[in-house]
Amino acid sequence: MMNMESLEKALKWAEENIKAEYIELRYEDLKRTTLTLKDGVFTSFTEKLNRGVAIRVLANGAWGFSSTSDLSKLEEAIKEAYKLAKSASETKKEKIELAEIKPVEDFVKSKMKVKPREVDIEEKVKHLTELEKLLKEDETVKSVNIRYEDGGGQKILLTNEGTRIEWDYNYLWQSVYVTGKKEGKLAMARDSIGAVDYGWELMTEKEPNEKVKDRLLRKLHSQLNGVAPKRGEFPVVAGPIIVGLIAHEALGHLAEADLTMNSPFKDLLGKQIAPEYVTMSERYVEGGFGNDKYDDEGVPVKDIHIIENGILKEIMLNREYAAKFNMEPNGHARAQDYRYPPIIRMRNTVFEPGDWSFEEMIEDIKFGYYLVDFRGGQAQLNSAFQVGIQEGYVIRNGEIAEPIRDTSITGVAIEALKKISAVGKDFAIETGFCGKGQIAFVSSGGPHMRFDGGIIIG
């Protein structure tokens, strides 16, 4: 294990031996446990140690990055990053500058009650086998696949500007896939939970097996008993998970400054893009998977309103793009681990609640759809999205009627925003992973929302 002292020594050596505007050392020492249970058999059962240092150097207006898991070769890795920065600077027309920040010295303590590393492996195994047993009590369930992962340890960030941050870093996550069959019909349902602020209490108190089972079986049966939907554009009431997917996939990525440059959002900043009762934020959320106090550049994580009262207001920034846009950095530089440089990423992307009840939203819909959960989807940089639906229902004469199956939705989020006619007073999130060349823990969600158009079913 490396301590602050040896990192300080390496940083001092770098300051004396290389000519750079900025030097960053990011150390991590994490132990990860992964368990996979498929139909009664543990197909993976691993404990891995992730230990190493990421080095980022800004020299002559260009970045150089290297990483090493051999801590005795830290000076060589620093030289390597510096060499890469110097080479890159020769081809760079526009020099990179970083927005100024106040250096921070802090220790970030974990909020978990019971850290996963304090829980015996036997208890984790028992938890997974119990969940599988509960699911298989349902005769339509033919296959169950559960993946569990947790990690815990230390992260340290040191820079030549005087930032010194140490994290007591922990997370846990569980994903379940269930396949079912009824009268020749096949269906699949998925569910995931994860946390960085809740520990093992997530599994015992907040999301116990019974609750996860009920949710999965509801999704599965809604498909097995579902009817094919009518194709077309109808009034849609979207639940928090669907609303969150639109917030994250179709709109959130456009508000990551490095992607904003080539997206429709570039020309829409400061303009009205939704009704005034629509607000979408990137913020701290109770139980959010993207929660943190600082980002991987040592910038305090700030709550921002991407859309405020219908106006496109703020975007997610790291220090480099904050300088480009002449804005304040807001803590969105994140790296998957020490093998990657930080890039601009979402954390918890949510629509904010309004003042409608669910009953009020559906009462005057003669025919429409209630969409609860998705099964994967994709979005483009023009905000066009296509999403599979794993739980949805017909709305008929103001009532929730039969479930639907084999459904997908498509639309262009920037257009769909204008068709939002009601925003619910409730709020919920879903936790998961986002890929953008690297993996990041994220949450997305919001209240129920009604769209009078803009979403095509089927």
- Where in the chain are the domains? 4-225, 232-457
pLDDT tens, residue by residue, 305-316:
999 999 999 999
Strands 185-195 and 232-233: unpaired
Residues with Cβ within 8 Å of residue 122, at least 6 apart in sequence? none
**Residue 318 contacts residue 215 (beta carbons within 8 Å):** no
Task: Give the C-alpha distances (Å, rounded to integers) separating 70 from 1, 52, 81, 343.
Answer: 11, 7, 15, 24
Statement: 4-225 belongs to CATH 3.30.1600.10: no
Its pTM surpasses 0.75: yes
* Spatial distance between the Cα atoms of 242 and 408, rounded to a whole number of angstroms: 12
Residues with Cβ within 8 Å of residue 260, at least 6 apart in sequence? 254, 266, 315
Beta bridge partners of 159: 24
pLDDT recorded at residue 2:
73
Residues with Cβ within 8 Å of residue 392, at least 6 apart in sequence? 222, 226, 229, 369, 370, 371, 372, 403, 404, 407
pLDDT recorded at residue 1:
66
* Spatial distance between the Cα atoms of 191 and 430, rounded to a whole number of angstroms: 9
pLDDT recorded at residue 156:
98
Q: DSSP label at 433?
A: E
pLDDT tens, residue by residue, 67-116:
999 999 999 999 999 999 999 999 988 999 999 999 999 999 999 999 99
Encoding tokens for residue 321? Answer: 């793009």
pLDDT recorded at residue 4:
86
Query: Of 261, 253, 383, which is closest to residue 325 (Cα–Cα)?
Result: 261
* Spatial distance between the Cα atoms of 20 and 13, rounded to a whole number of angstroms: 12
Residues with Cβ within 8 Å of residue 212, at least 6 apart in sequence? 131, 174, 176, 191, 193
What φ, ψ does residue 63 adopt, rounded to 5°? Answer: -85, 145
Residue 300 buriedness (CB in 10 A; 0-12 / 13-18 / 19+): middle
For CA atoms 305, 308, 310, 313, the dihedral sign is negative
**Neighbouring C-beta atoms of residue 105, cutoff 10 Å:** 10
* Spatial distance between the Cα atoms of 355 and 447, rounded to a whole number of angstroms: 10
pLDDT tens, residue by residue, 132-145:
999 999 999 999 99
pLDDT tens, residue by residue, 49-69:
999 999 999 999 999 999 999
pLDDT recorded at residue 312:
98
Query: Of 399, 365, 402, 404, which is closest to residue 388 (Cα–Cα)?
Result: 404
**Residue 280 contacts residue 251 (beta carbons within 8 Å):** yes
Beta bridge partners of 9: none
Residues of the chain scoring pLDDT < 70 = 1
What φ, ψ does residue 368 adopt, rounded to 5°? Answer: -170, -165
Task: Give the C-alpha distances (Å, rounded to integers) separating 446 from 53, 161, 351, 424.
Answer: 37, 38, 5, 9
* Spatial distance between the Cα atoms of 371 and 448, rounded to a whole number of angstroms: 10
